[in-house]
Amino acid sequence: MIEEIELKEYRPGDLDAMYSLDQECFSPVFRFDRESMRAFAEEPDAIVRIALLASGKIVGFVIVHIEPLAGKQRAYVVTLDVAEEYRRRGVAQMLLSQAEEYAAAAGAKWMELHVFTGNHGAIRFYESSGYGRVEVRRRFYGRAGLNAFVYRKDL
């Protein structure tokens, strides 16, 4: 039986659980440190949606920034994290769909994100969610020298 999942807005008290989940979800080269996570989540134009169980356990979250680009508003997915045991259960889609709705309401014309070229699961997810690959960013993940695909979806 799949537990019911609720989406809520970010509060500063969520930071520790979000940071822990990010550490579980990603290998060191892709993880955020605690202060970066706080800065991204508390950016004035950030959209942060959190997926949690009735027990209050956070099982996923998305951070999106609304940014001006070329005279228009762009939504940029900073990170989308879902606990391993809740993947492929619709949690990421719930988070992404709601972030897209909020971004469009905030005036964003498109949503953009970076995905490590070797993250095939994420690539399939974003492509099945209507995102198209627009370019490759060489050495995007600088410390490790890893490439990223840029994906984009009009809102």
Mean pLDDT of 82-101: 96
- Note the pLDDT of residue 1: 42
* Joined tokens for residue 55: 């027990």
- Tell me the C-alpha distance between 17 and 41, whole Å: 13
Share of the chain above pLDDT 90, in %: 88
Share of the chain above pLDDT 70, in %: 99
Average pLDDT for the chain: 94
Domains of the chain in sequence order: 5-109 (3.40.630.30)
100 class by beta-carbon count within 10 Å (0-12 exposed, 13-18 middle, 19+ buried) = buried
pLDDT tens-digit map of 7-49? 999 999 999 999 999 999 998 889 999 999 999 999 999 999 9
* Joined tokens for residue 149: 């695909």
Phi, psi of 38 (to 5 degrees): -60, -45
pLDDT tens-digit map of 138-147? 989 877 789 9
- Tell me the C-alpha distance between 10 and 137, whole Å: 30
